[in-house]
Structure 1
Amino acid sequence: MKVMELVGPGLDGIRFAERREKDVPLGHVRLKLKAVSLNYRDLLIAKGSVPVTYPCIPLSDAVGEVVETGVGVGRVKVGDRVCPTYYPDWIDGTIATEKFARDRGWHGDGVAAEYLVLSEQELLHVPAHLSDAEASTLPCAAVTAWAAVTRHVTLRPGSTVLIQGTGGVSLFALQFALAAGAETFLISSDDEKLARAKALGAHHVLNYRANPQWGAAILEQSGGRGMELVVDVVGAGTLEQSVIALSNGGHISQVGVLGGFAASVSLYPLMTKEAHIDGIMSGSRDCAESMMRAITHQRLRPIVEVSRQLTDLPEALLHLEGQHHFGKVTLAIDH
């Protein structure tokens, strides 16, 4: 079968290759993949920013059709359209080290291939109303956003939510917050993207480059109420402003490290607001299944801006690195 491989650090270390298809053992299925989508962590892995054992098949998010089942399979059947979970070993319950020790495309092969053989326990049925490109975006970005807006907070109509940026996780968080009836605030440095976010339903938008003290500006926009939830995708460089924007008792869902892995924050404002910073490591299969039901019920559609072919992976990662995207970048797999 055809695959994309990482053979060394850097985007010039991506190559097209052939691998032998695996047998289908007890409790496993063979998936014919239809589309994959990109996440920022895929760029970090491809560039060698984290340790990788080469050669490695990259990427974590995909959708495919079950074309063969092993003995004892009962969760899925031939013809079902499914996506693999992001963390194969996190089925349910709270986070634990052993549940996220293995993820696709980093600690083992990922999904940039024509076929995969996986345990049926790692699979999720996808909403029928979504295209293959849309469905491929769900395992990491959508589940992370769902966890960010549901795990430690209960959003109600009128709850205030601030979202940073217009990437995949951010726009999923916007859609989920809007579906809950929240009043939404979104920041970006790009006025065109802010206009597009407004068209998607964001109630208030702000250019953070034009307003470096955007925490206070958001506080003012909310009439002094502050944010019950901030979905922070950056960390370093934004965390202090996120705290300023919070309401008393508010929560920050820390879902990204676009600004790096180390951040500092003044403790006193955190204390006086009795604020919470909640780390989010995506979610379990149970969490993902709850999200799938919500997407189906609300008829939500992921925002897919760019759709290319799997062989365009290096160019697609460059597009991601340049932060030119609005929503998700996906790649189709032709057979």
Structure 2
Amino acid sequence: MKRYQVTKPGGLENLAIVQTETPTPNRGQVLVRWRATSLNYHDYMVALGAIPTAANRVPMSDGAGEVVAIGEGVDSWQVGDKVVSLFFPNWIDGKPTPTNNAAVSGDTVDGFALEYSCVDQTALTRMPDNYSFEQAATLPCAALTAWRGLIVEGNLQAGDSVLVQGSGGMSIFALQFAKAAGAYVYATTSCDTKMARLKALGADEVINYREDSSWGKTLATRSGGIDHVLDVGADATLKHSLDAVAMGGHIALIGVLGGITATMMMPTVFFKQVTMSGLAVGSRAMQEKMIAAINTNGIEPVIDKVFAFDELAKAFEYQASGAHFGKIVLRYDD
């Protein structure tokens, strides 16, 4: 079998494909043949070495595939079942803890840029009905983050307003979930072509943030204050998120695309009485609920481009260009 390794000290030129033996599942484990993965900013940071990992770590936090062998004591899965990985393989339910968040796929433990691996039977969920492997591989990080930010932490209700920033995978999923829930959605972008695509997906109003240096205040004026804001840019966007959010509204702090630090006007937080939630993906129970909602509403991911297994570095270079709209996927050889 083939697998990728991130060799020290990182860098796309150090993503190596090696040949290893196909493993055998231990008690409580299943052997999965992985068919696809998708790219996230977190994976890019691992590949570059910006997030330190153990030597020869297998990258990629997303995986979709099928069960091909079962270890002793496994009662949750059968050979042929189509499955999706977990970002936190040990976070099954309940609140996040240092223990259940210690294992991070493609970071502190091996991820899914490989053809086969053994995983605990609890570290998987079923794929949505009628999804391809490529579609299912977009879900574990980006989709679940959007779901948790809006539905779990935000308690989104029909008639609420939502602001999504940009057109990356998480923001597109947030737009789709929000519309399925009956929300009014505002979106930002820097590109007129992407503006049209966001509207085609259901965004009610879109603003070009490059053409309006006070876009948060502009959105507040238009909306009267937005109930749910998913902030992906930290220092590049948080000021605008605070300007745009409604009194008593919710900001989900999700990304660091504009830097790993941010400054904010604390009186704005106080007097707007804003709830701010820092969050990282979610649990298995959340993923199961999200997939049930996907099945009910027929939501399909937006996939920008599909690369072959041996094109991971090329796929990351495309991701870094910012030209994509939605998710970038790596499809494995049959």
Q: Normalising to structure 2: TM-score of the pair?
A: 0.98
Cα distance, 1:306 vs structure 2? 0.5
- In the other structure, the counterpart of 1:24 is 25
Q: 2:81 matched to 1:80?
A: yes
Cα distance, 1:150 vs structure 2? 1.1
Cα offsets for 1:243-295 (capped at 9, x unmatched): 11011100000111111221110011111110111111110000000000000
The amino acid across from 1:46 in the alignment is A
CA contact 2:216–2:243 (8 Å) conserved in 1: yes
Q: Secondary structure at the match of 1:99?
A: coil
Where in structure 1 are there 5+ consecutive unaligned residues?
none
Cα offsets for 1:95-118 (capped at 9, x unmatched): 111121111111121100011110
- Structure 2 Cα separation of the partners of residues 10 and 256 of structure 1: 21
| Equivalent residues in 2 for 1:235-254, closer than 5 Å | 235-254=234-253
CA contact 1:4–1:311 (8 Å) conserved in 2: no
CA contact 1:236–1:261 (8 Å) conserved in 2: yes
The amino acid across from 2:330 in the alignment is L
CA contact 1:129–1:299 (8 Å) conserved in 2: no
Q: 2:73 matched to 1:49?
A: no
The amino acid across from 1:311 in the alignment is D
Cα distance, 1:301 vs structure 2? 0.2
Cα offsets for 1:75-99 (capped at 9, x unmatched): 1111100011110110000111112
CA contact 2:3–2:114 (8 Å) conserved in 1: yes
| Equivalent residues in 2 for 1:1-335, closer than 5 Å | 1-8=1-8, 9-222=10-223, 225-335=224-334
- Structure 2 Cα separation of the partners of residues 52 and 121 of structure 1: 24
- Number of matched pairs: 333
Cα distance, 1:157 vs structure 2? 2.3
- Structure 2 Cα separation of the partners of residues 98 and 234 of structure 1: 28
CA contact 2:23–2:116 (8 Å) conserved in 1: no
Q: Secondary structure at the match of 2:330?
A: strand
- Structure 2 Cα separation of the partners of residues 4 and 317 of structure 1: 14
Where in structure 2 are there 5+ consecutive unaligned residues?
none
The amino acid across from 2:164 in the alignment is I
Cα distance, 1:132 vs structure 2? 1.2
Cα offsets for 1:35-69 (capped at 9, x unmatched): 11110111111111111222111101010010111
- Structure 1 Cα separation of the partners of residues 304 and 248 of structure 2: 36
- Structure 1 Cα separation of the partners of residues 186 and 256 of structure 2: 20
Q: Secondary structure at the match of 2:135?
A: helix
Cα distance, 1:152 vs structure 2? 2.3
- Structure 1 Cα separation of the partners of residues 158 and 85 of structure 2: 33
The amino acid across from 2:99 in the alignment is E
